Structure 1
């Protein structure tokens, strides 16, 4: 600031007041889950780009968007099945890993195992009281990483590290795990196992900002009811297919049931007082006709068209002026026409 004689000092002071919003070093206490500001948007855009096209209208876009959501739901259901039915692979048989393997999801367990491996390579020094300094041991002329201070409170089994990883991500860092190992704590305190990263995170009811219940999959109940009806009908079809007479009987019963169901739907639809808007045929068209499909002419083409129209007007005016300057010809034409008409009448009288 001294080199530029204080120019831009007001702007710098204004930006510095909002340093917590743009400087990463001031966001250590923010619960960001390790996600950058644009990471979520970029991830969702990468999923959408395979289904979108600039020529799609609104209706087609919503169809493609629903298809992307359906695909993501299927992936989530598959991963949840793998989490609940498959046994995770542990890198070591440590008691602390055996305990969290039944709680954490697969992805979070992998991150936690990495932290445990780093804690095994760390060195620890006890400072005054219940404060420790933890750093990574250097091997083969490696550059040692920065040491962190960890505070351990034995009464409440509370641990706090200066790196603030638990406050940001929600899992304990390797500095805190090293202190727990030093204090002979083989099980992570329950306060440091967030329900968000556990397998039972979706067992409870999830509410949105307005306090409404968030439905995981709106079509899940529909699919369950459909599967229940198919389960009831399938044994009948399997048994009736063995005999032609039984097949004919079951087919007729199904047709009769279909007719009754249509009558039930019509009666139910007629009993509703309010018109239904469940099935929209099309979007409302904009008044004023369709958009012009032809391209807009350039200024040179406009000048040529104007010049051509001007020449046509001049030629028409010259023709009209020429006919007005020779009236005798018009009079002679009229006389000839009248004479021919009189001659025709005279011939008719002679024939009579």
Structure 2
């Protein structure tokens, strides 16, 4: 098996694998290989250079263990911390390291809280207005709810400093709830619903905000937006006694935000829509009869543009947050102008070996 330690954030770092020194990371990856064995464990140690406020530079080492079985990377036994990202490519496996955020040498220090948003409602249902506030630092988001008497009803910290809140009566029982919208480690949208009456917190995935209708109803939004498209699903919250609530799809909305005028924009519009799950939008950039590829991916990178021929790398998770795989797609475009784009994708081919 072939491995490469990618420079990324490691320029100048020393690299050791299972105690053997491999060299210093510079512009080129540090490569190594292991034989074809059924089971193997790699201890990869890297020593990135960190500077303190005085300008002195110090090597601060850290290490990660990679387990291999039958030629494949074994998922870690504990939740990934984001410091190591393994990528499977046609040439082997790439090791991307990001130095952990630690309180060392003045790095990763948190700034002071800054007020962001305020919502007022009777969350504890005592007939008086309470106040929900959000605060943000450079690293985190904070939510605090105070009663009319000043008592703290809720205080939570989230790993997203762009979180936002809303006060809404979702189930139309006359009692407002607090909705907290934030994004997780993989940028996935999450909703936490806090019931001030009993202090319970429920978490639901996929929701990004609310929509208040003319009939005084509050619907939950799942909104996906790219530079070219916007796609929204609106759901009605339906509580079920003694069970988890249900979410009924009320309607969907979609619109084109801007026209794709050149080949690269057409490919970007297609890939970003496909990646976001807006398959209806992705179809707008294909010629009639061209099928969508049977592939799910969370990120993409346009590689080459040569007239009407383009290629792109797409990446899909094998183990979310830790281990992904690279695929190379080749696209053939033809000029077929309409309201959404000047060009259309005529064919999509998946390359098996290399770029």
Q: Shorter-normalised TM-score: what interval?
A: under 0.3
> TM-score, normalization: structure 1?
0.19
Bigger relative contact order (CA 8 A; separation at least 6):
1
TM-score of the superposition, structure 2-length normalised? 0.18
The structure that has the greater radius of gyration is 1
Kindly indicate which of the two structures has a greater share of residues assigned to strand: 2
Of Structure 1 and Structure 2, which has the larger fraction of its residues in helix? 1
